[in-house]
């Protein structure tokens, strides 16, 4: 955020002070106002806070205090705004606009940055400033006024620190706030209730509070006095664990909770709970996510029939409960899992049931979701006209409600269906257009299907660079979540890209690396893509010969999943972003600085932008000139333009 000019800062201070009813008025000494603005470095939120939230009764007193004590201490005036009046500050959307000086000021203002600004700052580029603003995210934010998210408040220390100091759990107020957050997030993230923006908001909230929620859930689950008991499970860890599981299903964590989900579910007594009411509702939703975890952990020894039977029992129990939201959520888990493990009859029956339920209760977002799932099942079963009809309906609803994910998936199906299929729109996005939409999708589990599907379509259309870009996006999401099945599809796609790109050895190694998961992975992709993969492997075998092919497969079979992921990502990135030979002369950091030099920035401005010392910038520029064989900034920029790099 650029600093204000002196006049603008002074005007902002006087306006805010007057509106806040402070002793400062429009006749305040201009020199004092100028001095104050200099002390606060013309940073807009700091100017507003100084006018609104201080115990000082005059400008000289405030200036003297700011010179003697940290900014945060001076501006901490509890009781001056008991109604938590909102003071609007510009919401910063990126750290790129902040100078090093402004970042330092923001850190000193910890506790006085409004909720929206703090969230935007911390989520924008969390790794940009080591020990600076990203550290503020780790504070406890649960004191925010839920009715007015921009309200200023004093941030409290994380309850994790209090646990360590006092040997006790979070206080009652803190627990109440965490449970309220978990309930709100769980309710919003149920199938068919959240649009894209709402879902992203709640996932961001849960990501910021994940450690606090998990710590509180463990304490409640293990504390005899407050544990999740059959008599009153809603007062314990169940609410917290459900929110964590819903977030973990999209962003990882279902398989990394250390047994918390099992502990909570097994602590509930279904017979004592009965089949109705909020406790039963909570238990069913928790059980749905426990089943999802079992499905995502499948290996060649897993009993798929047992998982399918448990999914049927879950759906039946939800229907008996009579809660439409719970039924839709359980049906969604069953359809996705049953389809992937090959129980298509069950998936089809539950999809039909879900479509009828969503239609009867007027849930358009859920309807688009389930019609798309039904279209995918019809496609796999060869009922192409039915798949086209359902996909067209899902596409229409998704477009009308601005739902990016189902819009991409349904449009992708238009490309995958045979030519001449009924109900397929004549005008539809190209595979390259869909790749651009995939770039906009959040990097979570639901990205995997469209990313790999678009990649496969681009390969069929002989566009390996775009296929590699979307494959890399899927691989990164699957790796972050820790989902082997999701990684496996990405690796299979990379095998095809490598073969097309003239790298048969790599293709064979990657094929051998996932050989023990191949059948499980193949179930999750459509017939045309399976045929493409099988044909590719035969071509690779023919190129290498049987002996060399077997040797390469054996080498890959010894790779760890970390090595498999790295090899796949490195090749996909290189294919998607081939570097001109000239660019390899510079390191990525040097190339970044060359671009900033071309933009006309001084060394000082570059240092502030990159948050590095001026000497470091000078060192980089000297190395750039030496590597390029030029004598200064002008020649370096001219060289970059001639090479087409800037």
At 132, the pLDDT band (50, 70, 90 cuts) reads very low
Q: Name the one residue in this structure whose structure tokens are 């908001």.
A: 201
How many Cα atoms sit within 13 Å of 530 on the Cβ side? 11
Residue 43 pLDDT: 62
Using DSSP's 3-state secondary structure scheme, residue 402 falls into coil
Q: Which residue has the higher pLDDT, 273 or 56?
A: 56
Is the predicted pLDDT of residue 100 greater than 60, yes or no? no
Q: Is the pLDDT of residue 372 over 90?
A: yes
Burial of 452 (0-12, 13-18, 19+ CB in 10 A): buried
Residue 380 pLDDT: 86
| pLDDT at residue 430, as a whole number | 93
Tell which wins on pLDDT, 406 or 523: 406
Q: List, for residues 285-333, the tens digit of each pLDDT value.
A: 998 888 888 766 655 566 778 888 989 999 999 998 889 999 999 999 8
Instruction: Give the pLDDT of residue 44.
Output: 64
pLDDT > 60? residue 97: no
Task: Please report the pLDDT score of residue 419 as a whole number.
Answer: 87
- pLDDT of 143 > 50? The answer is no
Q: In sequence order, which residues have a C-beta less than 8 Å from that of residue 569 and are 6 or more positions away?
A: 472, 475, 476, 479
The mean pLDDT value for 217-224 works out to 71
Res 78 pLDDT > 50: no
What CATH number is given for 581-642 in this structure?
1.10.10.10
| Residue 262 confidence (pLDDT) | 84
Position 75 confidence tier, pLDDT thresholds 50, 70, 90: low
CB 207 within 8 A of CB 254: no
Q: What percent of the chain has pLDDT over 90?
A: 26
455 has pLDDT over 80: yes
More confident residue, 307 or 583: 307
With bands split at pLDDT 50, 70 and 90, how would you rate the model's confidence at 274? low
Residue 533's SS3 state is helix
- Give me the mean pLDDT over the 72-101 stretch: 39
Triad 346, 348, 352: Cα angle to 5°: 115
Per the DSSP assignment, residues forming a β-bridge with 156 are 140
| Distance, CA of 499 to CA of 511 (rounded, Å) | 11
Two structure tokens written together for 302: 């897993």
- Higher-confidence residue of 216 and 366: namely 366
Q: Are 203 and 441 in contact (CB under 8 A)?
A: no
Q: What ranges in 482-559 are assigned the alpha helix state H?
A: 484-500, 504-513, 518-522, 527-544, 546-557
**pLDDT (0 to 100) of residue 91:** 25
pLDDT in tens, 234-271: 457 888 999 999 998 888 767 767 788 888 887 766 55
Q: Return the CA Rg of the chain.
A: 29
Give the per-residue pLDDT at 234.
42
* pLDDT surpassing 80 at residue 545: yes
Q: Check residue 487 and give its pLDDT.
A: 86
Sequence spans of domains, the chain: 6-126, 449-576, 581-642
Residues 27-62: b if buried by 16+ CB within 10 A, e if exposed: ebeeeebebbbebbbbbbbbbbbbbbbbebeebeeb
Query: By C-alpha distance, which of 281, 256, 255 is closest to 268?
Result: 281
- Cα 293 from Cα 308, distance rounded (Å): 13
Give the C-alpha separation, 192 to 357, whole Å: 11
Kindly report the length of the chain.
646
What mean pLDDT comes out for the span 563-585? 81
pLDDT band at 477 (very low <50, low <70, confident <90, very high): confident
Cβ atoms of 603 and 613 closer than 8 Å: no
Mean pLDDT calculated for residue range 470-499: 88
pLDDT of 106 strictly over 70: no
Q: Environment class of residue 274 by beta-carbon count within 10 Å: exposed (0-12), middle (13-18) or buried (19+)?
A: exposed
- Say what the pTM is: 0.63
Give me the chain's average pLDDT, please.
75
**Which carries the bigger pLDDT value, residue 374 or residue 177?**
374
Q: Given a cut of 60, is residue 96 above it in pLDDT?
A: no
């Amino acid at each position: 955020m650029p600093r204000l000019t002196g006049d603008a800062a002074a005007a902002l201070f006087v306006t805010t002070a007057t509106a806040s009813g402070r002793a400062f008025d429009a006749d305040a000494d201009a020199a004092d106002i100028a001095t104050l603005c200099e002390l606060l470095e013309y940073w807009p939120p700091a100017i507003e806070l100084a006018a609104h939230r201080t115990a000082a009764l005059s400008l000289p007193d405030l200036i003297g205090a700011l010179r003697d004590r940290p900014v945060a201490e001076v501006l901490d005036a509890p009781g001056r705004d008991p109604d938590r009046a909102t003071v609007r500050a510009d919401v910063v959307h990126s750290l790129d606009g902040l100078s090093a000086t402004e970042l330092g000021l923001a850190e000193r203002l910890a506790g006085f940055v409004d909720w929206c600004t703090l969230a935007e700052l911390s989520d924008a580029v969390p790794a940009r400033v080591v020990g600076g603003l990203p550290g503020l995210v780790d504070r406890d934010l649960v004191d925010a006024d839920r009715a007015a998210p921009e309200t200023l408040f004093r941030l409290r220390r994380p309850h994790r620190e209090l646990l360590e100091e006092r040997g006790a759990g979070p206080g009652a107020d803190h627990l109440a706030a965490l449970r309220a957050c978990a309930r709100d997030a769980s309710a919003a993230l149920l199938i068919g209730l959240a649009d894209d923006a709402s879902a992203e908001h709640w996932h961001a909230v849960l990501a910021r509070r994940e450690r606090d929620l998990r710590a509180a859930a463990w304490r409640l689950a293990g504390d005899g006095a407050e544990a999740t008991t059959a008599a009153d499970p809603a007062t314990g860890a169940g609410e917290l664990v459900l929110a964590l599981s819903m977030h973990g299903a999209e962003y990882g964590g279902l398989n990394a909770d250390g047994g918390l989900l099992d502990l909570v579910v097994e602590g509930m007594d279904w017979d004592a709970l009965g089949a109705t009411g909020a406790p039963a509702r909570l238990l069913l939703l928790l059980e749905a996510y426990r089943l999802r975890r079992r499905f995502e952990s499948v290996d060649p020894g897993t009993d798929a029939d047992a998982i399918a039977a448990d999914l049927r029992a879950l759906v039946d129990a939800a229907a008996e409960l009579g809660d439409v939201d719970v039924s839709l959520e359980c049906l969604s888990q069953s359809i996705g899992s049953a389809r992937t493990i090959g129980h298509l009859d069950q998936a089809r029956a539950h999809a039909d049931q879900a479509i009828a339920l969503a239609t009867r209760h007027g849930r358009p977002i859920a309807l688009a979701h389930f019609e798309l799932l039904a279209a995918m099942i019809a496609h796999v079963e060869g009922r192409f006209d039915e798949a086209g009809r359902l996909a067209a309906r899902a596409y229409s609803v998704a477009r009308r409600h601005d739902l990016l994910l189902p819009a991409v998936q349904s449009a992708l199906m238009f490309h995958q269906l045979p030519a001449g299929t009924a109900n397929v729109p004549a005008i539809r996005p190209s595979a390259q257009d869909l790749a651009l939409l995939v770039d906009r999708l959040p990097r979570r589990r639901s990205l995997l299907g469209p990313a790999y599907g678009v990649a496969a379509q681009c390969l069929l259309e002989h566009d390996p660079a775009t296929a590699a870009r979307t494959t890399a996006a899927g691989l990164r999401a699957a790796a972050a979540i820790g989902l082997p099945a999701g990684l496996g599809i990405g690796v299979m796609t990379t095998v095809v890209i490598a073969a097309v790109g003239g790298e048969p050895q790599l293709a064979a190694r990657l094929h051998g690396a996932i050989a023990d998961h191949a059948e499980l992975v193949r179930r999750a992709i459509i017939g045309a893509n399976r045929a493409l993969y099988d044909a590719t492997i035969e071509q690779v075998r023919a190129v290498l010969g049987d002996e060399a092919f077997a040797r390469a497969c054996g080498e890959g079979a010894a790779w760890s999943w970390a090595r498999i992921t790295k090899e796949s990502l490195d090749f996909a990135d290189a294919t998607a972003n081939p570097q001109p030979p000239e660019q390899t002369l510079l390191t990525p950091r040097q190339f970044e600085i060359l671009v900033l030099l071309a933009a006309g920035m001084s060394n000082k401005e570059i240092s502030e932008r990159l948050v590095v010392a001026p000497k470091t910038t000078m060192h980089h520029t000297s190395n750039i000139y030496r590597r390029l064989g030029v004598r200064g900034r002008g020649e370096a920029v001219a060289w970059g333009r001639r090479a087409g790099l800037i």
